Amino acid sequence: MTDTESEHDGQEFVRLPTGPDGRIHEDQPTRAEVLDWWSERFGIGRDFLEEFSYWEKGRGKVWAFHADTDSPVRVEGLGMSVLRTRGDHWKPTTNAVQRFGTRAEKNVIHLTREQAAAFVAGHDQEIPWDGDWGYLIATHDIAGETEPLGVGLYLHGELRSQIPKGRRRDL
């Protein structure tokens, strides 16, 4: 195995390249593409997300780390798993949306308390929405603030809850 191949083995974190020339596999996202995606999809500013270093562990699993070290590094975790980039539609994680989503300015669907409860219980719901289809940030109001709940997939008039089983609650 060459050194480059060993970086594919899914056990190491590899820092995302700054540009396309640094890719270690052809569909590896670059740091700039990740920053652009959050900005274009959700309007979350680059100035905030630029403070993080971005890493891949296994193909298409991107982590954000609010510190830095030498790449590659063989550890169990490095910051937070924030994004899946395999496939045409990149998908943010529940935890990333809860951490970064208060800064989102578009593709945010605001839910009533009743809709929010169904959403965190994992239910799909018919909800009118005249924006883009695809992955949305679902929010609701709590203690006078608007707070992100997680990721919903909007298709054909329906918001499909993407809350992982372990995070679902009957509230």
Partner 1 sequence: MEVLDRYEPLIDDFEAFREACERPLPSVVRVNTIKTDPETARGALEAEGIEVDPCAWHAGLFRLDTQPGANWPYYHGWLHGQEEVSAVPATVLDPDPGDRVWDACAAPGSKTTQLSALMDDRGLLVATDNNLGRISALRSNAERLGVTNVAITREDARNHSLKPWESKPYDAALVDVPCSCEGTIRKNPDTLEEWSLEHVEGIAGSQKGILRRAVQTVREGGHVVYSTCTFAPEENEAVLDHVLAEEPCRLVAFDLPLDHAPGVTEFEDRTFDESVRKAKRIYPHHNDTGGFFCAKLEVTG
Site residues, partner 1 (CB under 8 A): 52, 64-67, 69-70, 73-81, 93, 95, 98-99, 120, 142-145, 147, 149, 166-167, 169-171
Residue 104 C-beta: closest distance to partner 1, Å: 15
Report whether 53 contacts 65 (CB < 8 A).
yes
Residue 94 C-beta: closest distance to partner 1, Å: 9
CB-nearer residue toward partner 1: 81 or 85: 81
CB-nearer residue toward partner 1: 25 or 74: 74
Residue 95 C-beta: closest distance to partner 1, Å: 4
User: Kind and range of the H or E element at 151?
Assistant: strand 145-155
Residue 120 C-beta: closest distance to partner 1, Å: 6
Cβ neighbour number for residue 30 with a 10 Å cutoff? 17
d(CA 44, CA 49): 8
CB-nearer residue toward partner 1: 52 or 135: 52
Q: Which residues 6+ apart lie within 8 Å of 32 measured at CB? A: 18, 19
CB-nearer residue toward partner 1: 28 or 81: 81
Backbone angles phi, psi at 146, to 5 degrees: -95, 120
Report whether 93 contacts 167 (CB < 8 A).
no
